[in-house]
Amino acid sequence: MNLLLLEPQDFIDEAVVALSDRRLKHMREIQQVKSGDTLRCGLINGPRGRCTLLSIDDKEVRLSVELSDLPPPPLPLTLVLALPRPKMLKRILQNCATLGIKEIFLINALRVEKSFWSTPVLQPASVEELFKLGLEQAGDTRLPNLHIRKRFKPFVEDELPSLAQGKRALIAHPYQAQPCPGSSLEETLIVIGPEGGFIPYEVALMQQQGLESIHLGERILRVETALAVVTSRLFPVM
């Protein structure tokens, strides 16, 4: 936990918080903090700063808080992702928050198993917890927005064109594709398919909306690996 994330309900005074959940356990068992220690902290969807530990026991920790710094800038990326298997989805959602991706669309595709849509991972509380873990890792405070679209064709025809307007609009697809473009801070939309990839019809339909297919080299990558690679190639270190 590189940043202690705080929520409005944590405050018992204007500048004092009291915590008794997993954050307390982490501070006691992992960080092994003591009274007087200073930690980096931030308010969910708000500023960052420092907090000083006032008291701690096995039931509660109290900290004084000073918040004055902006969170890091978001990545100028809209991610459209065919729903992966639940175990991979958990890692991907956490990684998205760590990377600074703020707009995420989960979509259907022929090779997405129907059972994936019933996973508890997609419950709002689970999604928020995964995002928080990613933010804590990165030192960020802004929660990403997750949008779920279960119908492929209506999404591609009705929403994708407006989402892609004014952006580099790309499909990570390894066949009959151009090399990945270079690093830029240009607003970008990237579509990443399921394990096994999009079928030709799906790729063609997205290309009709102005998206360009790109590849990341000769090796076929897993979805979570492809996300990390394409992000590092499209954007400079931020």
Mean pLDDT of 30-49: 95
- Does residue 44 carry a pLDDT above 80? yes
Beta strands in the chain (DSSP E): 4-6, 11-13, 16-19, 38-43, 48-56, 61-69, 77-82, 103-107, 145-149, 168-172, 178-179, 188-192, 212-215
Domain that holds residue 45: 4-69
229 phi and psi, to 5 degrees? -65, -50
> Does 39 share its domain with 131?
no
Residue where a domain stops, chosen among 69, 86, 111:
69
Q: What CATH number is attached to the domain comprising 196?
A: 3.40.1280.10
Domain boundary, last residue among 69, 91, 122 = 69
Q: What is the CA 135 to chain-centroid distance, rounded?
A: 8
Per-residue pLDDT, 98: 96
- Average of per-residue pLDDT across 86-108: 97
Q: Decide if pLDDT at 4 tops 80.
A: yes
Banded pLDDT at 67 (limits 50, 70, 90):
very high
Q: Is pLDDT of 204 > 70?
A: yes
Mean pLDDT over all residues of the chain? 94
Last residue of a domain, one of 45, 69, 93: 69
Q: For residue 73, is pLDDT > 80?
A: yes
Instruction: Tell whether 43 and 88 lie within a shared domain.
Output: no
Give all strands of the β-sheet with 212-215 in edge-to-edge order.
145-149, 103-107, 77-82, 188-192, 168-172, 212-215, 178-179
Non-local (6+) Cβ contacts of 76 within 8 A are: 185, 186, 187, 188, 235
Q: What is the pLDDT of residue 196?
A: 86
CB-count burial class (<10 Å; 0-12, 13-18, 19+) for 233: middle
Tell me: pLDDT of 237 over 70: no
Does 84 share its domain with 65?
no
For residue 221, name the pLDDT band (cuts at 50, 70, 90): confident
Strand 4-6 to strand 38-43: parallel, antiparallel, or no bridges (unpaired)? parallel
220 and 141, same structural domain? Answer: yes
**Statement: the pTM of the whole predicted model exceeds 0.75:** yes
How many structural domains compose the chain? 2
Residue 175 has pLDDT above 90, yes or no: no
Q: What is the mean pLDDT of residues 141-153?
A: 98
pLDDT tops 60 at residue 238: no
Longest dimension (CA), the chain: 61
Running DSSP on this structure, what letter comes out for residue 29?
I
